Amino acid sequence: MGPEYPGIPRPVSREYFDRVCSDKFIFDADGLKRELQHATGAQITRAWVQKLDAIGHQCVVIPKQSGHIYDNM
């Protein structure tokens, strides 16, 4: 990232996120992870993109207790 990729947003601090995103959508990833127990990496990635697109909200929070995006170990 940086000057050579001007269209890519930079990471933001927690303080900035909280200020800009006063209305957050809390997404519980556990249900999606259960659906993806035997999925390939590509299927997992597509499923996450589809779920996040379907939410239609710019400020999405995944609680820490949800663990990893996908963990089958």
What is the distance between the terminal CA atoms of the chain, rounded to a whole angstrom?
32
Spatial distance between the Cα atoms of 43 and 62, rounded to a whole number of angstroms: 19
Helix ranges, 1-73 (H) = 14-20, 30-35, 41-55
For residue range 27-40, what is the model confidence (pLDDT) as tens digits? 878 888 888 888 89
Spatial distance between the Cα atoms of 43 and 24, rounded to a whole number of angstroms: 26
Domain residue ranges of the chain, discontinuous segments joined by +? 23-66
Provide the pLDDT for residue 4. 61
For residue range 58-73, what is the model confidence (pLDDT) as tens digits? 888 888 777 655 555 4
Provide the pLDDT for residue 2. 45
pTM of the model: 0.61
| Length of the chain (residues) | 73
